[in-house]
């Protein structure tokens, strides 16, 4: 199983809503990532978890809150988002980091903030 599953596929939320994005992998990968991608732009790294611990936060606003409940699951909790946060949110996982950092991506959650 080389799949990273993201739910939901689409999400529309108001600026006062609280929602969560979910990501799951069963490949035994120990590193998991959240990226944000705007149209016609490359993915921008947001967070990296390594062995279930947050290792990198790319100065992401606190309205985005990541969580890694176990080695297979990664969540991104959203609260009080702004319209400019509308984007494709991609989750990825890799066996490790350094030279074992080939990343497997989910299909993404397309988020619209109204």
Q: Which residues bind another protein (CB under 8 A)?
A: 4, 40-45, 48, 50, 55-58, 88, 90, 92, 97-99, 101-108, 110
| CB burial readout 1-18, b (16+ within 10 A) else e | eeebebeeeebebeeeee
Place of tokens 């990198």: 56
Supply the minimum distance, in Å, between the C-beta of residue 106 and another protein. 5
**Cβ distance to another protein smaller for residue 9 or 77:** 9
Nearer to another protein, 17 or 104 (CB): 104
Task: Tell the smallest beta-carbon distance from residue 15 to another protein (Å).
Answer: 24
DSSP notation for 39-69: TTS--EEEEEEETTEEEEE-S--TTEEEEEE
Min dist CB 16 to another protein, Å, is 27
Nearer to another protein, 40 or 83 (CB): 40
């Amino acid at each position: 199983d080389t799949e990273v599953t993201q739910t939901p596929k689409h999400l529309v939320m108001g600026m006062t809503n609280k929602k969560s994005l979910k990501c799951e992998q069963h490949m035994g990968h120990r590193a998991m990532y959240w990226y944000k991608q705007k149209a016609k732009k490359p993915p921008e790294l947001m967070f990296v978890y390594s062995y279930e611990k947050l290792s990198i936060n790319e100065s992401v606003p606190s309205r985005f809150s990541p969580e890694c409940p176990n080695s297979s699951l990664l969540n991104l909790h959203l609260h009080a988002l702004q319209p400019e946060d509308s984007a494709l949110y991609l989750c990825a996982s890799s066996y490790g980091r350094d030279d074992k950092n080939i990343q497997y991506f989910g299909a993404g959650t397309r988020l619209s903030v109204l």
